[in-house]
Amino acid sequence: MVYVPIVPGFIMRTSIASVTPDTPTAAVTGWVHEIRDLGGLAFILLRDRTGILQVTIPKKKVPEAVVETVRSLSKESVITVEGTVKAIEKAPGGRELVPERITLVSASESPLPLDVAEKVQAELDTRLDARFLDARRPRVAAIFQIRSRVQRTVHEFLYEREFINITTPKIVAAATEGGTELFPIAYFEKEAFLNQSPQLYKQMMIAAGFDRVFEIGPIFRAEEHNTTKHLNEATSIDVEVSFAGHEEVMQLLEDLVIACYRDVERDCPTQIAAIEYEAFAVPKPGFKRLQYKDAIDIAAPKLDEPIAYGDDLSTAAERAIGEEMGEHYFIVDWPTEIKPYYAMPYEDNPAVSKAFDLMHPRMELSSGAERVHQHDLLRRQIAAKGLNPDNFGFYLSPFRYGMPPHAGWGLGAERLVTTMLGLQNIREAVLFPRDRHRLVP
């Protein structure tokens, strides 16, 4: 038998993808995807993370022990099949495996909570309740293989540009942006919250002279939304850059998003095919800039509810603007009063901030800005939001000792993958989503 490891140095077994029509013999371990018994001939579709292999059992030509084992198998059991590989045009991958031995490694109970072969569709809640089983489905596995490729690209892209990867606390004493979207937690004798964003800590590391920092980590928002684009625990790709303005970090963000698409297109064609998203396309460079006031003008005539300058953009407004734009774009020059206190106002027009949102036609992907780096101005803006600057002493202190100008953004990993792959619900892009109703598994 030919044994080819999936990864050199790891457990020695043949991966399905490595079995070609020219392979003489193979020993393959995987899950029983389907079983078909046609009397004198039986078929098993065997699946692992690399693909599906047809196992053909001509009952009169294989050992009786093989036939007996096949009769006892249940779908999703783990088996090892050893035998001869034959070229056959109609089989998946143009080859089949005729077994000399089948070994049951781990039996699966029947019936299954859901059909991994996808002949019977399951509701999303059923899928999430049995996520370990749902993730065996080739389409679902493909989503997370692509998500992994995206996060790898983010690391590589930023490391190539000399960013430092940091890790910041997720248990904090003060809200990042204020408001009621906070998860309070019991932290001994103190009041504490789950962090909304690493924003304050990113800026503190800019004060430390790190120049360029990034973090990929969880953020928590106690929003009571129950929509297809909101999560209460999400993954944020956060970046902060010294001696940069909003235009520089907008270009960085655009370049990163395009790099993610390009790497997925190059490295994941099989996964894109499994998801069956024919509209996948790498965005064109040169994302359009749309001023906030013009975005309001586009949305207002198309909405049932009134919207005016100074209002935040609702989901319906985002959708109306996205239909008009038709591609990735930035909304820029937001009113200072509706952006966080750390967004820098224009010097000649303080009512407008150097803030931006990166938009996909379906939803917001990222929010960023040039930051306030002057201590006194930052205190005034914190107070203007109805917050007490004295509660932000740990954050404000670095601004007294030489804070350089800087800018940055946070990009939602799940939203990036959801829009990239045309997923209908953001929960499809999370292994174990957390929303207002789901705490397990």
Task: Give me 62's structure tokens.
Answer: 């294989």
* Rounded Cα distance, 156 and 394, in Å: 32
Q: Are 270 and 371 in contact (CB under 8 A)?
A: no
* Rounded Cα distance, 407 and 202, in Å: 10
Residue 8: the pLDDT is 53
CA dist list (Å): 142 to 29, 157, 361, 425? 20, 22, 23, 16
What's this model's pTM, rounded to 2 decimal places?
A: 0.92
Residue 226: the pLDDT is 84
Residue 91: the pLDDT is 92
Q: Distance of alpha carbon 196 from its chain centroid, rounded?
A: 18
The continuous run of DSSP H or E covering 32 comes out as strand 25-37
* Rounded Cα distance, 96 and 84, in Å: 8
Structure-token match 């489905």, residue found: 137
Task: Report domain extents, the chain.
Answer: 16-106, 131-287+327-429
* Rounded Cα distance, 168 and 198, in Å: 6
Low-confidence stretches of the chain (pLDDT < 50) are 1-6
* Rounded Cα distance, 20 and 43, in Å: 18
For domain 131-287+327-429, give the CATH superfamily: Bira Bifunctional Protein; Domain 2 (3.30.930.10)
Residue 2: the pLDDT is 44
Question: Per DSSP, what are the bridge partners of residue 291?
Answer: 332
Residue 221: the pLDDT is 92
**What letter does residue 75 receive in the DSSP assignment?**
T
The type of residue at 378 is L
CA dist list (Å): 224 to 92, 118, 221, 364, 435? 46, 32, 9, 18, 8
For domain 16-106, give the CATH superfamily: Nucleic acid-binding proteins (2.40.50.140)
